[in-house]
């Protein structure tokens, strides 16, 4: 009877160990993919690459496990320590690599190889141990059941709980501690006369992870000081992105996933061109406006200069972005507390879904999309024919739609692809809708482009601006529609469809060439 209870206890402990190992194993893969997405972009490519390389390394580890015939406990404990420290500090290592070297990929590949091989090695070993306390067929079933449960747990907890609350570095350290805990559990089920040395090694490893957990904020700031030119005043990891705000004297800058979004030294050039140019061409002040993106409230600030506007609807994916720019005193000053204005209604949801769910319910005099550049497929879908077809159905017949469209100089092919995609979608909705491109020089970004669509638009047919502006003047507006020869397309631009998203490749290639 005692023997049966002992076997049952061993079985439960081994299954818990499998759960910990599988949870941490998938989590390391998610951490690596997320970090690469944050730093490089192109989320589908990064996650596909991470998963493929990780699974291949697991296969290698499974193959190598066949050669482990003696001292199995020592081998698996060393694997747990290796995984706990390497996987636990994987986010920090990748962050360091990006800040202090020219490339991230060698470190990305090495970490995936080490962690994937380790995870692939230990599961067959634990399976052997399970076979000693259970019928082999049942042991295989139990191990893989708990393996898959652990994977599900990691895939749910990481994006929904840990990443928004702990950040990437602390999240990876948290999962690293699971490997150390698994090591202690494995010691408890294996009969070994002397395991003091193993416990000391596991304890020291746990202590190293604990130090990293408590000092992760300082570590992150140390690394980011290398990445960002100015002192960091605010950082926030959300379910969707990493938000960093820097400040030097009068210049406050917003970075999303390491990409500059605005500088207060010249953001007026961008936001005034986005807002006041289409209103000048509308020839009347719009009563209802839809803004997609722009959770910083700066486009809303410009719109609120028109007292005639009755309602503004803002659709922003990330609620933390809204919260920061609504509640933080430093950021409130930049947007004039625009996000608390009673004219504003805020929806925190995906813009694609917003347009689908609200089809036919509301139409707007003016629609603005103030989106990040199309550097990933999740953002790129908001630059596709499908998205624009939905959007034009929310625009009044005499309304105007404007979107930022990247740089016509540095990302020329991407810029004209966006313009041509909007033209294609607009013509399908109404042949009288014209799409005209314009651009403005912004020192922080260089030559920056926009696309404007409306019925029978003509570059010279606009009304004078009636509100105060910092940059834009009536004399300047006409010049915004003139492009230099090296900004014009060399070949007919492609159209960006949802199923192919050629725009992502065009944008990525442009900026890779720029930084070569």
Which residues carry out catalysis?
370
Tell me, yes or no, whether 157 and 54 share the same domain.
yes
Could you give phi then psi for residue 444, rounded to 5 degrees?
A: -70, -25
Q: What is the pLDDT of residues 16-58, one digit of tens each?
A: 877 888 888 888 878 877 776 666 655 566 667 777 888 888 8
Tell me, yes or no, whether 443 and 333 share the same domain.
yes
pLDDT at 485: 92
The total number of structural domains in the chain stands at 3
Q: What is the pLDDT of residues 450-506, one digit of tens each?
A: 999 999 788 888 999 999 999 999 999 999 999 999 999 989 999 999 888 899 889
Q: What is the pLDDT of residues 343-370, one digit of tens each?
A: 999 999 999 899 988 876 679 999 999 9
Tell me, yes or no, whether 43 and 119 share the same domain.
yes
Tell me, yes or no, whether 248 and 272 share the same domain.
no
Query: How far is 78 from 187, CA to CA, in rounded Å?
Result: 12
Query: How far is 41 from 376, CA to CA, in rounded Å?
Result: 6
Q: Assign 3-class secondary structure to 161-198.
A: HHHHHHHHHHHHHHHHHHHHHHHHHHHHHCCCCCCHHH
Q: Which domain holds residue 232?
A: 228-261
Tell me, yes or no, whether 185 and 293 share the same domain.
no
Tell me, yes or no, whether 458 and 484 share the same domain.
yes
Taking CA atoms, 466 is separated from 140, 225, 280, 284, 472, in Å, by 74, 43, 9, 10, 11
316 contact partners, CB below 8 Å, separation of at least 6 = 293, 294, 295, 322, 346, 347, 348
Tell me, yes or no, whether 415 and 507 share the same domain.
yes
Instruction: Give the CA radius of gyration of the chain.
Output: 27
Q: In 203-217, which positions are buried (b, 16+ CB within 10 angstroms) versus exposed (e)?
A: eebbebbeebbeebe
Which of 207, 236, 261 marks a domain boundary? 261
Question: pTM for the whole thing?
Answer: 0.74
Q: Name the CA dihedral angle for 80, 81, 86, 92, rounded to a multiple of 10 degrees.
A: 120
DSSP assigned state of 66? G
Tell me, yes or no, whether 421 and 488 share the same domain.
yes
Indicate the helix (H) or strand (E) that contains 84: helix 72-88
pLDDT at 327 over 90: yes
As a whole number, mean pLDDT of residues 268-292 equals 95
pLDDT at 335 over 70: yes
104 contact partners, CB below 8 Å, separation of at least 6 = 36, 39, 40, 94, 97, 98
Tell me, yes or no, whether 202 and 83 share the same domain.
yes
Tell me, yes or no, whether 192 and 278 share the same domain.
no
Mean pLDDT estimate for the chain: 86
Q: Give the CATH number of the domain where residue 418 resides.
A: 3.40.50.150
Q: In 143-174, which positions are buried (b, 16+ CB within 10 angstroms) versus exposed (e)?
A: beebbeebbebbeebbeeebbeebbbbbbbbb
Tell me, yes or no, whether 463 and 327 share the same domain.
yes
pLDDT at 516 over 60: no
Q: What is the pLDDT of residues 289-302, one digit of tens each?
A: 999 999 999 999 99
Q: What is the pLDDT of residues 226-239, one digit of tens each?
A: 767 788 888 888 88
Overall residue count recorded for the chain in this entry: 516
Which of 207, 239, 261 marks a domain boundary? 261
Tell me, yes or no, whether 388 and 289 share the same domain.
yes
Q: Give the CATH number of the domain where residue 12 resides.
A: 1.20.1250.20
Long-range contacts at 301-308 (CB < 8 A, ≥ 24 apart): 301/271, 301/335, 301/336, 301/338, 302/271, 302/272, 302/274, 302/275, 302/276, 303/275, 304/336, 304/338, 304/341, 304/343, 305/467, 305/468, 306/279, 306/467
Residues 255 and 236: beta-carbon distance below 8 Å: no
């Amino acid at each position: 009877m005692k023997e049966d209870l002992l076997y049952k206890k061993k079985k439960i402990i081994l299954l818990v160990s499998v759960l910990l190992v599988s949870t941490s194993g998938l989590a390391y893969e998610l951490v690596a993919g997320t970090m690469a997405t944050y730093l490089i972009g192109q989320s589908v490519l990064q996650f596909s690459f991470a998963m493929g390389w990780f699974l291949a390394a697991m296969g290698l580890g499974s193959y190598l496990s066949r050669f482990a015939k003696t001292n199995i406990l020592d081998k698996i404990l060393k694997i747990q320590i290796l995984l706990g420290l390497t996987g636990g500090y994987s986010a920090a290592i990748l962050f360091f690599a990006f800040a202090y070297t020219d490339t991230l990929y060698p470190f990305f590949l090495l970490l995936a190889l080490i962690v994937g091989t380790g995870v692939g090695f230990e599961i067959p070993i634990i399976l052997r141990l399970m076979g000693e306390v259970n019928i082999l067929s049942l042991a295989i079933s139990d191990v893989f059941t708990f393996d898959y449960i652990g994977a599900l747990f990691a895939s749910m907890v990481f994006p929904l709980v840990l990443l928004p609350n702990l950040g990437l570095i602390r999240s990876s350290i948290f999962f690293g501690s699971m490997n150390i805990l698994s090591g202690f559990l494995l010691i408890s089920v294996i009969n070994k006369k002397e395991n003091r040395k193993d416990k000391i090694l596991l304890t020291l490893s746990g202590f190293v992870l604990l130090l990293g957990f408590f000092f992760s904020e300082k570590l992150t700031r140390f690394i980011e000081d290398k990445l960002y030119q100015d002192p960091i005043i605010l950082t926030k990891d959300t379910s969707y992105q990493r938000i960093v705000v820097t400040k030097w004297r009068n210049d406050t800058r917003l970075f999303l996933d390491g990409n500059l979004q605005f500088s207060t030294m010249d953001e007026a050039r961008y936001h005034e061109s986005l807002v006041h140019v289409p209103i000048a061409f509308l020839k009347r002040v719009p009563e209802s406006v839809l803004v997609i993106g722009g959770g910083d409230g700066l486009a809303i600030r410009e719109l609120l200069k028109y007292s005639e506007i009755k309602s503004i609807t803002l659709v922003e994916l990330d609620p933390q972005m809204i919260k920061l720019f609504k509640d933080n005193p430093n950021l409130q000053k930049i947007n004039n507390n625009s996000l608390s204005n009673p004219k504003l209604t805020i929806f925190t949801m995906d813009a694609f879904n917003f347009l689908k769910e609200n089809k036919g319910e509301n139409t707007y005099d003016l629609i603005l999309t103030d989106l990040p550049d199309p550097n990933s497929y999740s953002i790129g879908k908001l630059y596709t024919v499908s998205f624009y077809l939905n959007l034009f159905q929310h625009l009044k017949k005499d309304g105007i739609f404007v979107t930022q469209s990247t740089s016509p100089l540095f990302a020329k092919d991407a810029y004209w692809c966006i313009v041509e995609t909007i033209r294609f979608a607009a013509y399908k909705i109404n042949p009288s809708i014209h799409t005209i491109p314009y651009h403005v020089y912004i020192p922080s970004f260089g030559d920056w482009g926009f696309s404007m669509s409306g019925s029978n638009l003509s570059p010279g047919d606009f009304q004078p601006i009636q509100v105060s502006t910092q940059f834009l003047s009536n004399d300047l507006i006409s010049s915004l529609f003139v492009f230099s020869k090296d900004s014009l397309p060399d070949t007919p631009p492609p159209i960006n469809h949802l199923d192919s998203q050629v725009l992502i490749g065009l944008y990525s290639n442009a900026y890779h060439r720029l930084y070569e």
